[in-house]
Amino acid sequence: HTANEGTGCYKSVLWVIAKGIDEKPKWYKDISRKSKFEDVQELLVKSKDEHCHRDPCACETAKAGTKCRQAIDWVQNTGLKKHPDWYKGLTSASTREEIQTRLHQDKHPLCLLPCQD
């Protein structure tokens, strides 16, 4: 379960990335500002952070601007209309996460499974 926005764990991860790396470099020597959110969360879980108790999922919900999100948007806006036979089981009402799951199942190289609560 990747920490949700607004939770203590989410805030801890953001603090580590924004300040902790500089203020406590010995604590966070294996990560950098370029580290994935889930990698920082995993480190906090292993170090028994008071706010982070659950390992992040091996997933990543596509964020705006990523190649996976571009593929999802293409499926939503173009692919379902022009090639409905390519996307059986998906409709114009399908969520981005449902489309991302399908792209992952179809072995799309840019899309991991989306995170689920």
Task: Give the position of tokens 């926005």.
Answer: 5
Say if residue 117's pLDDT is above 60. Answer: no
pLDDT tens for residues 67-79?
A: 999 999 999 999 9
Burial of 93 (0-12, 13-18, 19+ CB in 10 A): exposed
pTM reported for the whole predicted model: 0.54
51 and 63 co-located in one domain: no
43 and 63 co-located in one domain: no
pLDDT tens for residues 38-94?
A: 889 999 999 898 999 888 877 788 999 999 999 999 999 999 999 999 999 999 999
70 and 94 co-located in one domain: yes
Widest CA span of the chain, in angstroms?
54
pLDDT at 16: 94
Q: Mean per-residue pLDDT for 99-107?
A: 92
102 and 117 co-located in one domain: yes
pLDDT at 21: 93
pLDDT at 116: 63
71 and 43 co-located in one domain: no
Count how many domains the chain has.
Answer: 2
117 and 63 co-located in one domain: yes
DSSP character at residue 61:
P
